Structure 1
Amino acid sequence: MNIQLQPEFDDILQPLGNAAAEFFLAASLYHARKISFASAAQLAGLDFESFKSRLMEHFNQGYILTEECVLEDMQTVDKL
């Protein structure tokens, strides 16, 4: 799929650096819980730390920890 953005986005995205559209699309999909953190970082063309830093910069939050994930991790630890 090839996406063409409306020209109005240029003025908004340009000051945010190269690949800003890819970052915000990947971040939006991650925040909507449609893709994992690792997938979002890869789609944004960033490593884990860089993606987390940009999330912190623009959303004041890096990782999204849901109660479901925490409970699943606790069950995994209990099994060990």
Structure 2
Amino acid sequence: MLIQLQPEFDDILQPLGSHAAEFFLAASLYHARKISFSAAAHMAGLNFDSFKTRLTEHFNQGYVMADECVLEELRTVEKL
């Protein structure tokens, strides 16, 4: 599928480097929990660490954790 972006995106994406559109699309799908972290990194054309770094730069966090996972971890810590 070929995507044609509106010209208004050019001014925004150009300073963010090559493949910025792919990164933000992959990051959006990851944040919406539609794809895994590793799938998003692959779709963005980045390795694991580079994708995490860019997520942190642009979204102030590298990983998205489901509330259920956090609660499960807290219960585990309480048991210890």
* TM-score of the aligned structures, taking structure 2 as reference length: 0.85
Residue aligning to 2:51: 51
- Give the Cα separation in 2 of the matches to 1:69 and 1:60: 20
Q: After the TM superposition, which segments of 4 or more aligned residues of structure 1 sit over 6 Å from their partners?
A: none
Q: RMSD over aligned Cα, in angstroms?
A: 1.7
Find the aligned partners of 1:68 and 1:4 in 2 and give their Cα distance: 38
Deviations 1:35-57 (Å, cap 9, x if unpaired)? Answer: 00000000000000000000000
Which residue identity is paired with 1:66? A
User: Aligned equivalents of 1:54 and 1:41: distance in 2?
Assistant: 10
Paired positions, count: 74
Question: Please, which runs of 5 or more residues in structure 2 have no aligned partner?
Answer: none
Aligned to 2:61: 61
| Correspondence list, 1:17-56, <5 A | 17-56=17-56
What is the aligned-residue identity percentage? Answer: 76
Q: Within 2, Cα distance between the matches of 1:8 and 1:67? A: 36
**Offset of 1:66 from its aligned partner?**
1.1
Q: How far apart are the structure 2 equivalents of 1:37 and 1:69?
A: 15
- What letter is aligned with 2:29? L
CA distance in 2, matches of 1:63, 1:22: 18
Superposition TM-score, scaled by structure 1 size: 0.85
